Structure 1
Amino acid sequence: MQEKAWLVKSLKLTQRTLQRWRKQGGAEDGRPNATRPAPANKLSEVEEQQVLEVLQQPHNRSLPPSQIVPALADEGLYIASESNFYRVMHKHDQQHHRGRSKKRTARPLTSHAASGPNEVWMWDITWLPGPVKGLFFYLYLILDLYSRKIVGWEI
């Protein structure tokens, strides 16, 4: 009991959390930032190097792992999963623009901003169903961008 009270105070955990962890199969630390052992199915260094070699082949340089892995599977070769390819790329700082196409560029927003009412109005034309099948009405609507209130309308 003394140990439990010390754990609760020093780790800033509730007693209920400790009870849940122990019920789930042990006294292992369940916090997100706790140090944990490496998974048993983690890729070895040799396998990581093999993934890097495949990624750096000339015909794979401009392809994402979502296309490389199926292409390898068509050849009857399985090295690692698509997510493992992404993990290796991220680990070795290769998770950036690949290929001959242009990189994405950040462009300034072209939309308008309103800091108060009646600064920017927007409009829309919507089809409204009529009383008879196949008959529609046009709703012309003008809205204030800031307050989202209807400024004018016409059917």
Structure 2
Amino acid sequence: MRNIAATLLVLICIQFTLNAQSQDEQSIRNILAKQSAAWNEGNIEGFMKGYWENDSLMFIGKKGLTYGWKNTLNNYKKSYPDARAMGQLTFTIIKLKPLSNQYQEVIGKWHLKRDDGNLEGHFTLLFQKIKNNWFIVMDHSS
């Protein structure tokens, strides 16, 4: 009887863990979907809602390392001054990997369809759960 109870307890714990992981993964996928929708509307501020609004946010791109949410926002605005320059953004998630209960890694591709020529590259995102919400705390895009 003890073995059955122990087995049931283990199965319940596994199911709870899988459900939590599924919810976390879905939350992160929703954030990325909202980001691309905001981008495609020409709304950089809306796009930035997926990022941790903190001076410790790290963005690594072709111009090097940028610290801080406001600095990252300003760089986006400088590089993409209007909706035409922004184009239409598509994300393709290659891998979403839980690192712990508080961190998730996302590897993917981004593609901008623009009249002036398409752009594309890859990204690695580090998501952190802060006050029960997921935010990008590090973005390495190339």
TM interval, shorter chain, is under 0.3
Which of these two proteins has the greater Rg computed from alpha carbons?
1
Question: Higher strand proportion, which one?
Answer: 2
Q: So what's the TM-score if we normalise by structure 1?
A: 0.22
Greater share of helix: 2
Whose RCO is larger (CA < 8 A, sep 6+)? 2
